[in-house]
Amino acid sequence: MSRNPRYDILFEPVKIGPVTAPNRFYQTPHAIGTGQQMPHTRAAMREVRAEGGWGVVNTGYCSIHPTSDDAPLPYCRLWDDEDIKVHALMVDAVHKHGALAGVELWHGGSGAANRLSRATPVSVSGVSSDYSYPGWISLTKSRPMDARDIREFRRWHVDAAKRAKSAGFDVLYIYAGMGFGPYQFLLPWMNKRTDEYGGSLENRVRLMREIIEEMKEATHDSCGIALRFSADALLKIPGEHMESEAHEIVSMLADVPDLWDIKSSSWTVETASARFAEQGAQEPWNSFAKKLTSKPVVGVGRFTSPDEMVSQIKRGVLDLIGAARPSIADPFLPKKIDEGREDEIRECIGCNICVSGYHDSVPIRCTQNPTMGEEWRRGWHPERIPAGDPDTSVLIVGAGPAGLECARALGQRGFAVTVAEAREELGGRVTIEAQLPSLSTWARVRDYRTNLIKTMSNVDVYRGSQLSAQEVIDFGCDHAVIATGAYWMRELINADGFPVEKFDGNVFTPDEVLSGIDVTGPVVIYDFDHYYMGNCLAEVLRRRGNEVTIVTPANAVSAWTFMNNELNDIRNRMLDLDICIELEKRITGFNNGVVQLSSVYRSGKASEIDCESLVVVGHRTGNDSLFNELNEDPERIENAGIKSVIGIGDCRAPGTIAHAVYAGHECARTIDAGDEDPVILVERPSLSLNI
Ligand code: ADP
Ligand code: SF4
């Protein structure tokens, strides 16, 4: 197929100083959880984007000096020449496919806690940002930089730029955003200096100008210098001559950098999930810049629609379409547009499971793209998969995310696949959960797979087909894959967090609420699942007009969602909807229209709230009776010619949608491997340092 001419504009080259991006697809700097310790994993994760058509592929944040150390979070570094090699691996991998490689040089200023290096943090005036999450709170404050420190700060940038050039990078960043070092100089509430770096805006901008000019001087024959700049907070400060200080900064520095990368000052805002922000939500912060500079402007916006990308360019908002999440979910997004296959784009659903990988300091994983992070250690490619035997038949029972991904990947491998789904609708839990408030994008997990399966002549799908063990046996297949999902339990938990018996009366599970059962208020939601279901059901039931209270033993509503950056947005939504919140409490009894609560702390202080209906959002258990029955009698299976019965996804171990998709994909890749252990490479520290 050929490209739709409507999208030609996306494939125009763009000059970034002395280098040229081959097209407008730009993978902006973003962490991938590999840090400096996993160079092969990182190189492979970045390489697939270059192969998939992203014209520029950047690293995540890369520290320039030990005074900017973010341990234990996974950052990379260019502290000395020994660090160059690790980067060269990625650069070479990206260059192989004709893309430019960029590096996000980073100094955190007071935002770097220096837990590993133990260097005293330095910042513009010793004023620290207020972090209230335990993992981010630093017990060391920064010291104000003196004139010598500022000279050093500039030198660190230049030295790192030279090293980056040696590694082969084409685009070098200075990072003046998100509360980090150079950005702190711009902010009047952080910059209290009385020398030539403080006071007037021209003075506050001075350091940035100097660093860009010095980096250019050191590397400009071969590298473009990009300025990453957070505009949202500065847009709110009125300028002396222009609408805002953000306008004045861009106009003062207009053509000094070779590229402007405009972003928000808060990571949680920038990575707002689809539940809380639409595609293109950053436009209010980045659309002002293009009128003030002749240099290209890049910004993100979870863009997955080529029409929206074209619109951003034609309306003069952006020159380059920046992406982190869309490039994670589909590294081949540009190639698919180029080849007229935009129907095959695996669209990001905006769930932010990838973000949680960073917080966990592990290679990021993705709900939509099960190969993310597995490119090197398992050799999984996002588009290619080894061919299988077309005479081998596989019956998949259940068409949720696990069953559908397994069917899609087995179908791609060429096996003879049959899918039996009990319901008329495919998609399992995603079809149901996509109906929760603002979660409609989750249906993309189903749609991407069903769209491809439809085109595969070797995959048959039967809806409304609830299979028993005997029916599986009678069907006759080489392999039976059981992907029958899970259900929510009614059990509560005791003071130690272990399951205990259930209460009688109006006690409901999420499955029952989602099936439309009538729930009368006041409603209490007892949430010890700690993810989205508790707060989503609270929203559903509140919007139906009920009084709703969430009770949780945790110290925040949906406490896990700190990990995917949704915590603040969820809390705000609960506040907006007047949903009551009882933190750090367990439910100990429910009768006569009242629930009894007890504090989780030693006092165990008791209290009560009115409650007509109790919804328990706690544990899930696998719907594994079919799997167990089939495995009960190996002889019966063998006699039927079935070589293996494999349970995947929630039916064996309830988890996120990402876990289920991964399990489905893994099963499809390994179904014909027999008893061989899978090859999983491990990154190992090298002892060959030149010291
Ligand atoms: P997962 O997340 O593991 O894919 P889901 O709960 O989303 O699990 O999907 C499981 C699917 O399996 C559901 O669509 C359900 O209707 C289907 N299912 C459960 N039991 C059977 C069965 N015996 N025969 C056919 N389909 C089944
Ligand atoms: Fe998008 Fe979710 Fe994948 Fe992140 S994990 S890239 S948000 S689909």
If you measure from the C-alpha of residue 421 to the centroid of ligand 1, how many angstroms do you get, rounded to a whole number?
7
Task: Give pLDDT, residue 132.
Answer: 66
Task: Give pLDDT, residue 688.
Answer: 62
* pLDDT band for position 137 (cuts 50, 70, 90): confident
140, pLDDT greater than 90: no
The helix or strand, by DSSP H or E, that contains position 219, with its residue range, turns out to be helix 201-219
- H helices of 63-187, in order, are 84-95, 147-167, 181-186
pLDDT tens-digit readout, 14-59: 999 999 999 999 999 999 999 999 999 999 999 999 999 999 999 9
pLDDT tens-digit readout, 396-443: 999 999 999 999 999 999 999 999 999 999 999 999 999 999 999 999
Domains of the chain, each with CATH number or no CATH: 5-130+140-345 (3.20.20.70), 393-485+623-670 (3.40.50.720), 488-620 (3.50.50.60)
* pLDDT band for position 603 (cuts 50, 70, 90): confident
**CA–CA separation, 220 and 446 (whole Å):** 47
**CA–CA separation, 561 and 465 (whole Å):** 36
DSSP letter string over 546-613? --EEEEESSSSTTGGGGTTT-HHHHHHHHHHTT-EEEESEEEEEEETTEEEEEESSTT--EEEEE-SE
- The residue length of the chain stands at 691
Phi, psi of 421 (to 5 degrees): -125, 130
365-384 per-residue burial string, b: 16 or more CB within 10 A, e: under 16: bbbbbbbbbbbbbbebbbbe
Does residue 345 have its Cβ closer than 6 Å to ligand 2?
no
Coil, strand, or helix at residue 566? coil
User: Considering only CA atoms, which residue is closest to atom 13 of ligand 1?
Assistant: 428
User: Considering only CA atoms, which residue is closest to atom 9 of ligand 1?
Assistant: 400
Structure tokens that stand for 436 in this block: 């929760």
If you measure from the C-alpha of residue 649 to the centroid of ligand 1, how many angstroms do you get, rounded to a whole number?
10
If you measure from the C-alpha of residue 118 to the centroid of ligand 2, how many angstroms do you get, rounded to a whole number?
34
Does residue 368 have its Cβ closer than 6 Å to ligand 2?
yes
Q: Which ligand is nearest to the CA of 395?
A: 1
Q: Are 161 and 210 in contact (CB under 8 A)?
A: no
**CA–CA separation, 691 and 688 (whole Å):** 9
pLDDT tens-digit readout, 342-357: 999 999 999 999 999 9
Does residue 351 have its Cβ closer than 6 Å to ligand 2?
yes
Residue whose token pair is 């929203």: 539
Does residue 32 have its Cβ closer than 6 Å to ligand 2?
no
Mean pLDDT for all residues in the chain:
95
pLDDT tens-digit readout, 655-689: 999 999 999 999 999 999 988 888 899 999 877 65
Does residue 67 have its Cβ closer than 6 Å to ligand 2?
no
Q: Which ligand is nearest to the CA of 366?
A: 2
pLDDT tens-digit readout, 490-525: 999 887 778 888 888 999 999 999 999 999 999 999
Query: What is the best residue among 419, 421, 430 to mutate for testing ligand 1's pocket, by most ligand atoms within 8 Å of CB?
Result: 421
Query: What is the best residue among 302, 303, 352 to mutate for testing ligand 2's pocket, by most ligand atoms within 8 Å of CB?
Result: 352
Give mean pLDDT, residues 175-190: 94
Task: Give pLDDT, residue 559.
Answer: 97
Coil, strand, or helix at residue 575? helix
